[in-house]
Amino acid sequence: MRVLSGIQPTGRFHWGNYFGAIRQYLQLQEGNEAYYFIANLHALTTVRDRQRLWQDTREAALDLLALGLDPDRATLFVQSDVPEVSELCWLLMTGAPLGLLERCHAYKEKKSRGVTADAGLFTYPVLMAADILAYDAQLVPVGVDQVQHIEVCRDLAGGFNHEYGEVFTIPQAKVLEDAAKVPGVDGEKMSKSYQNTIEIFEPAGALRKKVMRIVTDSRPMEAPKDPQTDHLYQLYSLFASEAERESMAARYRAGGFGYGEVKKALAAAAQDYFAEARQRREELAARPERVAEILGDGAQRARRKAAEVLGRAQRACGVKRPA
Ligand code: ADP
Ligand code: TRP
C-alpha cells in the first residue's frame, strides 16, 4: 500500500501529535511504501516568521527521525523541495469549485476567529490534494479534523479523471484512532492553538514543571475517584505499562492519595518513555549534514514519483505534448 501523510512545522511536536499521529506513521512504515513530509508550504498560511519557519522545519525532521522514522523504509522530505506539487496544485485549482472550498470547516473556523483570509488559506485543501495525488497515494492517515480535506481531494481527483481520463489514484483516509485524543494541561484537547501542550522533547526540568501544573479537581484526598474520567490518569496511561496502569487505577478507586503523586509518576513515565528518542535526537542534532542528506535523498525520491504523475496530468489536460 502506498501511504502518505504530512505534518505542519508550526512549533515543536507535543504528546498529542505523537500519540494521535506520529506513532501511527511509524507503524505504517512497516510493510508499506510510505511518504511522509513536513508541510512547510501549508505552514506558510499561518507562520510569517522566516527564521521560525526554517528552524521549525529542521526541528520537525529531527523529531521525526529521533522518534523512529526510518529513512531506509519511508521517504521523508520537505514539501517545498518538490516543486512538482505546486505545479500540480495549479492544474487542480482550475477544476476546484469555490463552493466546495467554502464549505471546509478548517477555513470557516479560522475565518470566524478573525484570521484574515487570503487565497493561500482558502485554497489550502487544493494544495493538500496535490500533495496526495502527486504520489499516487492510496492511504492517508490523518486526524479527524483533516477528513474533510481528504474528501475534497477525492472530489478533485474524481472531477479531473472524469474530465480527462484516469489520471489520479483516488486515495482513502485512514482516521487515526479517536481514543488517542490526548488532553492538555488544562484537560481540554492538547493543541498548540490552546497553549496547553507538553512537548515530546521538553527538557526534564520544564517537563516536570508543566506536569505539576496540570489542572486537577479539588475533591478531597480521601474520596475514591473514577480513573476513566480523569485526564491525569488518561495521560499517565499513555506512558505506563499495563501493570502500572492497573495498579494506578486501583489506587484511584481506593482513594486516599494525592494528585501530586500521580503527577510525579507521570513525569517519570514520560521521561522514560522518550529517553531513547531523546538520546537519538541529541546524536542527530550534532550531525546536521546527515539530516540534510536524509531530506535531500527523500526529496529526490519524492520528485521522481511526483514528476511522473505531474507529466501524466499535464498530458491529459493538454499543457504538455501527448506521449
Ligand atoms: P495542533 O492542534 O497542536 O496545531 P496539528 O493540528 O498540527 O496540532 O496536528 C498534527 C497531527 O496531530 C494531526 O494528525 C492531529 O490530528 C494530531 N493531533 C494533534 N493534537 C492531538 C491530540 N490532542 N490528540 C490526538 N491527536 C492530536
Ligand atoms: N493539513 C494537514 C494538517 O494540518 C497537513 C497536511 C498537508 C497533510 N498536506 C497533507 C496531511 C497531505 C495529509 C496529506 O494536519
Map out the domains of the chain as residue ranges.
2-182+287-317, 202-273
Give the residue, by CA position, lying nearest to ligand 2 atom 14. Answer: 5
- CA–CA gap between residue 253 and residue 53 (Å, rounded): 46
Which residue is catalytic, options 110, 174, 263, 305? 110
Please list the residues that pair with 173 across neighbouring strands: 140
Question: Which residues contact residue 66 at a Cβ distance below 8 angstroms, ignoring those fewer than 6 apart?
Answer: 201, 277, 278, 280, 281, 284
Which residue stretches of the chain have pLDDT < 70? 178-180
Q: Interhelix angle for 231-239 vs 242-254, to 10°?
A: 160
What is the CATH number that goes with domain 2-182+287-317?
3.40.50.620
CA angle 264, 15, 117 (to 5 degrees): 140
Query: Which pLDDT score is estimated for 97?
Result: 97
d(CA 49, ligand 1 centre) in Å = 22
Is 320 in the active site? no
Give the residue, by CA position, lying nearest to ligand 1 atom 14. Answer: 143
Query: Which pLDDT score is estimated for 30?
Result: 94
Query: Which pLDDT score is estimated for 115?
Result: 84
Domains 2-182+287-317 and 202-273 belong to one CATH topology: no
Tell me, what DSSP letter sits at residue 169?
A: P
Residue to probe by mutation, ligand 1, list 10, 17, 145, most atoms within 8 Å of CB = 17
Is 110 in the active site? yes
CATH topology of domain 202-273: Tyrosyl-Transfer RNA Synthetase (1.10.240)
> 146: Cβ below 6 Å to ligand 2?
yes
Tell me, what DSSP letter sits at residue 199?
A: B
> 2: Cβ below 6 Å to ligand 1?
no
Taken as a whole, the chain contains a residue count of 323
Give the residue, by CA position, lying nearest to ligand 1 atom 21. Answer: 16
Which ligand is nearest the CA of 175, by number?
A: 1
Question: Which residue, among 276, 250, 213, 259, has the nearest Cα to 67 in the 3D structure?
Answer: 276
Question: Kind and range of the H or E element at 66?
Answer: helix 50-67
Is 264 in the active site? no
Query: Which pLDDT score is estimated for 178?
Result: 61
Q: Classify 52 as helix, strand or coil.
A: helix
Which ligand is nearest the CA of 125, by number?
A: 2
d(CA 17, ligand 1 centre) in Å = 5
Show the cell assigned to 164: 480527462
Which residue is catalytic, options 108, 111, 174, 189? 189
Please list the residues that pair with 299 across neighbouring strands: none
- CA–CA gap between residue 295 and residue 300 (Å, rounded): 9
d(CA 229, ligand 2 centre) in Å = 31
Residue 245, amino acid = R
Given a contact cutoff of 8 angstroms between Cβ atoms, the answer to whether 123 and 93 are in contact is yes
Q: Rounded to the nearest 5°, which phi and psi values hold at 180?
A: -90, 20
Distance spanning both ends of the chain, measured CA to CA: 28
- CA–CA gap between residue 123 and residue 141 (Å, rounded): 21
d(CA 40, ligand 2 centre) in Å = 10
- CA–CA gap between residue 55 and residue 162 (Å, rounded): 42
Cα separations (Å) of 14 from 63, 231, 319? 10, 16, 43
